[in-house]
């Protein structure tokens, strides 16, 4: 399946044009190895879905663990990754929640970066979600979160247009009251530190 042309995945793949370079440049602003600038970097993608972001990061040399609590997502991700044998050594998927994953001793402080992309707006307990994800970060690691901001424009674009007009996602996938503004996310992260 070509994600770039699939009606459900194409918009998320398009977002990789911003996400992948941002993550890459965080670790390797002037890469020595330009084909694998993320070599030696361990990344955890929480809520990896079908692997739309995990795969391109693994192709850049990162050792990526993609987790998702939905078995169908993990099956789709694993099947898609099998088409590219170069990913076998540095990409793995697991059907598990971040809360359960973080309970494992080998997960604690073991990743250079933790990514939650377009996930947090679907989470019931954001504090527990973030606490679990952050516990997997090495000291000095990076937390990458992308989400839909809680603005009228987002309500129009992500709910009305995406769900009702273009039917890119099923109706009800996005709920405006669950969108998270940068200020609200910062507050949750600050409260965790105290």
- pLDDT tens, residue by residue, 133-144: 999 999 999 999
Q: Is the pLDDT of residue 11 over 70?
A: no
Region(s) of the chain under CATH 3.40.50.150:
1-23+35-147
Residue with tokens 């080998």: 106
In this prediction, residue 6 carries a pLDDT of 59
- Which pLDDT does position 76 carry in this prediction? 93
- Which of 108-112, 119-123, 179-183 is predicted least confidently? 179-183
pLDDT in tens, 151-169: 777 666 776 666 677 677 6
Architecture of the structural domain at 1-23+35-147: 3-Layer(aba) Sandwich (3.40)
pLDDT classification of 96: cutoffs 50, 70, 90:
very high
The DSSP result for 62-83, as a single string, is -EEEEEES-HHHHHHHHHHHTT
- pLDDT, residue 193, reads 62
Residues facing residue 67 across a β-bridge? 46, 94
Q: Say what the pTM is.
A: 0.86
Averaged pLDDT score across all residues of the chain:
86
* 3 pLDDT more than 60: no
For the segment 34-89, what is each residue's pLDDT rounded down to a tens digit? 789 999 999 999 999 999 999 999 999 999 999 999 999 999 999 999 999 999 99
Q: 101-126 burial string, b = 16+ CB within 10 Å, else e? A: bbeeeebeebbbbbbbbbbbbebeeb
The helices-and-strands tally (H runs, E runs) of the chain is 7, 5
For residue 128, the model assigns a pLDDT of: 93
pLDDT computed for residue 33 by the predictor: 63
């Amino acid at each position: 399946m070509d994600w770039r042309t699939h009606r459900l995945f194409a918009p998320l793949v398009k977002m990789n044009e911003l996400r992948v370079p941002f993550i890459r440049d965080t670790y390797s602003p002037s890469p020595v190895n330009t084909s694998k600038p993320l070599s030696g970097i361990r990344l955890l993608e929480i809520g990896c879905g079908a692997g739309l972001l995990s795969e391109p990061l693994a192709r850049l040399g990162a050792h990526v663990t993609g987790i998702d609590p939905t078995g169908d997502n993990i099956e789709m991700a694993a099947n898609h990754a099998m088409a590219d044998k170069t990913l076998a050594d540095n990409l793995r998927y697991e059907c598990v929640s971040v809360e359960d994953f973080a309970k494992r001793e080998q997960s604690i402080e073991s990743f250079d970066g933790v990514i939650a992309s377009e996930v947090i707006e679907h989470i019931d307990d954001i504090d527990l979600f973030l606490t679990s994800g952050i516990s997997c970060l090495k000291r000095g690691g990076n937390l990458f979160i992308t989400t839909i901001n809680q603005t009228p424009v987002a309500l129009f674009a992500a709910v009305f247009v995406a769900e009702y007009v273009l039917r890119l996602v099923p109706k009800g996938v996005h709920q405006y009251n669950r969108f998270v503004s940068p200020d609200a996310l910062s507050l949750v992260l600050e409260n965790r530190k105290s």
